[in-house]
A = this chain, B = another copy of it.
Amino acid sequence: MSGNALPGGFDLAHWSEQRLARIERALAGWVVADAPAGLGEAMRYAVLDGGKRLRPLLVLAACEAVHGNEMAALRAACAVELIHAYSLVHDDMPCMDNDVLRRGKPTVHVKFGQAQALLAGDSLQALAFELLAPDDAAIPAAVQAALCRLLARSAGHAGMAGGQAIDLASVGRTLGEAQLREMHRRKTGSLLQASVMMGVACGGAGARAQAALADYGAALGLAFQVVDDMLDVTADSATLGKTAGKDAAHEKPTYVSVLGLQGSATFARELLDQALKALAASGLPDTRALHALATMVVNRDN
């Protein structure tokens, strides 16, 4: 996998540091504290001071690769993170995964109650679309509409929420590799791929680059979940910042249960290779950040 080597002279930590600072500042500004009756507090708790911000970084990296509108990308980066955050809040609730620990802290419903957690998740989803459609002529309406389209499709029944429904229905059942892939393509892959495509939508990439980056996003999205399944088995809760071993405890089918640990590791490396080949095929001159992010996704330990 020659493409797996980090591109010469590119420092992901340095690149990420500056962008993460912008993302955190923007989130802190846009996720309001003054929403009524404690709702703002619950929303901020769900979003701020936690998370790897992988999806926002993918948006910014893809936007930079196509020289897109930076302000649009920052809004898209925060919007996709709000969708991710809301999905975690709802997913942790007692009627879903009933989880009490997230990013090393009590989950939102443990801290604020179930009703407030439900409303905070609902409000974060609405806020995501609000961020994408500002009353600001500096972001062309066509870009605003395209971003809303991509995010809505990837978050809803055909994407993330649909994948969660399959997940719910699959507890205690045996899934084949194809069914597992379909579940994860929706549940996790959809929003990761949308992050890349939203970055692309901030600029004016040609059809070849668009198709290549869609392939990159699909491979990266699946690789993320394969590695997640592996970490659920191999890492401890302190490293993960969430409850380890919960897939097995909940009798959820995972890549590890279907392919084994070694088979999963091989599959993750194959997916990384696919992602990097897609970048090479994009024809874009500088995809180093996207390259480094995909490599990080596969090699991460939390």
A122 sits at the interface (CB 8 A): yes
Q: How far is the CA of A145 from the CA of B75 in the complex (A)?
A: 14
Q: Are A157 and B37 in contact (CB under 8 A)?
A: no
Q: Are A168 and B35 in contact (CB under 8 A)?
A: no
Q: Are B37 and A165 in contact (CB under 8 A)?
A: yes
Q: Are A157 and B118 in contact (CB under 8 A)?
A: no
What 0/1 pattern do residues 123 to 151 of A give for CB contact below 8 A with B? Answer: 10111011011110000111011101101
Residues of chain B contacted by A162 (CB below 8 angstroms): 35-37, 39, 123
Which of A32, A36, A39, A163 gathers most chain B CB within 10 Å? A36
Choice from B114, B119, B134, B169 contacting A165 with Cβ under 8 Å: B119
Name the distance in Å between A135's Cβ and chain B's nearest Cβ.
6
- Nearest B residue to A130 via CB reads B152
Q: Are B95 and A118 in contact (CB under 8 A)?
A: yes
A93 sits at the interface (CB 8 A): yes
The copy count of this chain in the complex is 2
A245 sits at the interface (CB 8 A): no
A22 sits at the interface (CB 8 A): no
Residues of chain B contacted by A126 (CB below 8 angstroms): 125, 152, 155-157, 161
Name the distance in Å between A7's Cβ and chain B's nearest Cβ.
34
Q: Are B166 and A37 in contact (CB under 8 A)?
A: yes
A71 sits at the interface (CB 8 A): no
Q: Which residues of A contact B (CB under 8 A)?
A: 32, 35-40, 43, 86-87, 90, 93, 95-96, 113-116, 118-119, 121-123, 125-127, 129-130, 132-135, 140-142, 144-146, 148-149, 151-153, 155-158, 161-166, 168-170, 186
